[in-house]
Structure 1
Amino acid sequence: MNLEYLDKFKNEFSEYTELRYQKNNNVRLSLLNGDVISNIRNSSSGISARVYAGGVWGFSSDPETGETNVSNVIRAATENARFLDSRENRHAMPLIYGSAEGYHDFSSKRKKASPKEIIGFLKEIDAYLLKKYPDLTARSVTMSNLDMEKALLTSEGSRAYSLIPRSLLIISLTLDKGGGPVDLYDVFGGFGQYEDQFGIAEDFYESLDLFYERLREKSAGIYPDAGEHDVILDADLAGILAHEAIGHTTEADIVLGGSIAGEYLNKQVASPLINLVDFAHTARGQQCPVPVYVDDEGTEA
């Protein structure tokens, strides 16, 4: 869907309104020990509208995106907002808003790969593992592709379109270590469609060799002793834990809605040695894995 389609409905906005469209295309192909066990393609989409009136919000959505459906969604969201406003009587100040525009289509410019070609790539990866590491007791090779398409139009002039693709090669290997199996998985790829991330299996052989060595090291490891211990956390793990413990609980809408961290609003919640930075689209000179240039409310990131 393009922005020109959403533009048709701007005259139907009578309050502050956000009109959104989103479509997710998913492809997942999986091999287990060389056999194709999964070949799934699905697509989900819909339209939604959020309307502000007097300090309250009205919302409506529809999985169908025809012109009648879009008009009905706008009307329902507006009616919901006005109904709540008539009951709440908050007489709130008008919203402080801005406007932003953005068009970011990151779909591949290369020739689209067929399912047969993708399966062929996965089979090459699996064949390499089977030949070089015959001691593996199980091999799982999966390709997961997600294309997330969004379009946004607001009553105050924000217009944004984005197609953000992600392609992941997921490998899971298993070794038998006497008393039982030891497995390990890793993920390769990231931002971009399959055509931009993959295609030549040989490019991943060195990474697969290193991955196998990590599995061997894990199989030779010992179980930790129970109890309390002083440990040094790798920066990646520490960052994940800080994100879960602090990041989610201090998101503005969650705090205002009753987060357990609400009483710590505007207070220090962690050691000054811990820094959390929310990068929207660029970090350290590189594009983020899921870049956001204009958010779902029409604010430039």
Structure 2
Amino acid sequence: MRYTSLGRTGLQVSRLCLGTMNFGPATEEKEAFRMMDAAVDAGINFFDTANVYGGAEHPGWTEEIIGRWFAQGGGRREKVVLATKVYGIMKDPNDGPNDPRGLSAYKIRRHLEASLRRLQTDHVELYQMHHIDRNVSWAELWEAFDVALYQGKIGYVGSSNFAGWDLITAQYEAKARHSFGLVSEQHKYSLLCRLPELELLPAAESQGIGVIAWSPLDGGVLGGNVNPTAGSRSERQKARIESLRPQLDAFAGLCREIGESEANVALAWTLRHPAITAPIIGPRTLGQLENTLRAAELDLSEEVIAQLDAIFPGPGGAGPKAYSW
């Protein structure tokens, strides 16, 4: 496994991040335990979750599973750089009018404490805003996060699904308070979703914010899982796959030519961008996890990168040069 710094911090994290969203709804607890053990054995020390993971009927389920895995001991907690998120609805009747999606000092404090209880730990290394809340001032947000930092309940603050200008604003406001600011941004990025190259990735790189790529396989579409008759896919998803068929066939042919799996090539491609800290892998089974480990060690040649650019054209580089002069 290869490692890198999380953004501009000194914290070293694996180049693959274990996403746990499937734990509970799609992956039963014993299999999740096996996957986390295997991930640590393979050198993956970066785990990502969220307080809402577990499904609409059981938000928090995923954190509970991770907490029970930690409780087994054996250094499990100490070996993991743990990231979770705040923003969503947790269906806690005690939240009352503060239950809807959003951020506030009240919600951050309550939801962090609840996450720590479920995770059976006294801190998380990375606490992330799951979405931007433009109805709350940065003065309130940074005060809330600074308190949690001073208490030792969180190590760093990250964001998710922010725009480039949100990152700049967050850093400007943090600097005014002499706060450390954001260290990471979790963002959708893949061969099929290259728009972040226009603004988000350059903004993050300029601020020393490490980008954690979610859905790097586009829900399995870039992992060879392109059977249009798959029962789990909606008609809309099947139609999209068929519209992408020429690109996906060309991609599959290129991967066969170089002797690598489609999933590993897609993951390795995301790792080439200097702003990317790690893509999130979201396996449902131990076999899927084991099959993606090679991605962190795979170095794609410039010739292969050129062919991928031809199959999946990007926006033309960073803005404004991509669309102006």
The TM-score normalised by the length of structure 1 is 0.25
Bigger radius of gyration, 1 or 2? 1
By percentage of residues, which structure has more helix? 2
TM-score by length of 2: 0.23
Name whichever structure is richer in strand by fraction: 1
